[in-house]
Amino acid sequence: MWNTTSVPEFHFISLSEDSDLQTVLFGLFLSMYILALFGNLLIILTVSSDSHLHTPMYFFLSNLSMVDIGFISTTVPRVIVDIQTHCPVISYAGCLTQMSLFIIFACMDDMLLVVMAYDRFVAICHPLYYQVIMNPSRCGVLLVGSFLLSLVNLLLHYVAVLHFSNCEYFIEISNFFCGSSEVLNVACLDTFTSTIVRFCVGTLFGLLPISGIFFSYFKIVSSIMGSSSSGKHKTFSTCGSHLSVVCLFYGTALAVYFSSSLSHSARSNAVASLMYTVVTPMLNPFIYSLRNKDIKTALRKILSRAF
């Protein structure tokens, strides 16, 4: 009989057994990590250094970039070390720590995307009241509320996964990191309990937020139907980047969370997980900067001062 003190370690799946491909994966993960750090730090620097960007929209964008740095730093450095050492093993305490950070940063990412959709809804549908509604105090409350909801999500998972008693099988994580869904799979829960936990968490922190986001955009589209073509173009250019990130993040995250217990291909889940844990944090700053006129103008000012 095992308990939480006698579970020595967890083993990740190997992304590839080919030594040549291992080298390619090492370079790929390292490149994506550096690119994500550079892009998100550049967004934070740009927003903080330009007074014209000290608005609720860019306040949440800079916080999203900080969360993305934490999000990708939770998984990728560990993967790089595992590839280099050829030893994809993590201790029980290390696995729970990684899962905790992963849940907090993933849920913060989730909540900030909802808050940013709400911010765009207020700005476009209620422009005269925007400064009153989205005042600094309200923005602070929304940010703190997102963090508290992330802690609630973490506690819900802890209640479920701290059951490693009577585990008499080889503990293998069917992914390249200790994600919440993967740890649920090995937490010795019965199928009914595991399904209930997934349904509750997926509904509260997945389906409800994305429903709120799409409702906000439905109201936005309805409100601009009678505007001029230039007004429509400006609105879609502002919201298009955010909607692209929402679809990329939620599409892959929800698919992995709900299907990991059903899929028989661990590597397929790992590839899908790669999309929202690594690719999305890497692409976010470039999606926002390339489609946002204010960010590009601020970047030009920074580069002109630097050179």
Report the candidate in 71, 68, 45, 70 with the shortest Cα–Cα distance to residue 58: 45
Q: What would the DSSP string read from start to end of 206-242?
A: IIHHHHHHHHHHHHHHHHHTTS-HHHHHHHHHHHHHH
Place of tokens 């994809």: 88
* DSSP 8-state secondary structure symbol assigned to residue 11: E
pLDDT at res. 102: 92
pLDDT in tens, 66-87: 999 999 999 999 999 888 888 7
- Domains along the chain with CATH numbers: 9-306 (1.20.1070.10)
Confidence of residue 143 (pLDDT cuts 50, 70, 90): very high
Assess contact for 107 and 152: CB atoms under 8 A.
no
Tokens of 296: 């590009």
Which has more pLDDT, 102 or 207? 102
Report the distance separating Cα 114 and Cα 95, nearest Å. 28
pLDDT in tens, 259-284: 655 555 666 777 778 888 888 899 88
Report the candidate in 69, 26, 81, 95 with the shortest Cα–Cα distance to residue 278: 69
Q: Is this structure's pTM higher than 0.85? A: yes
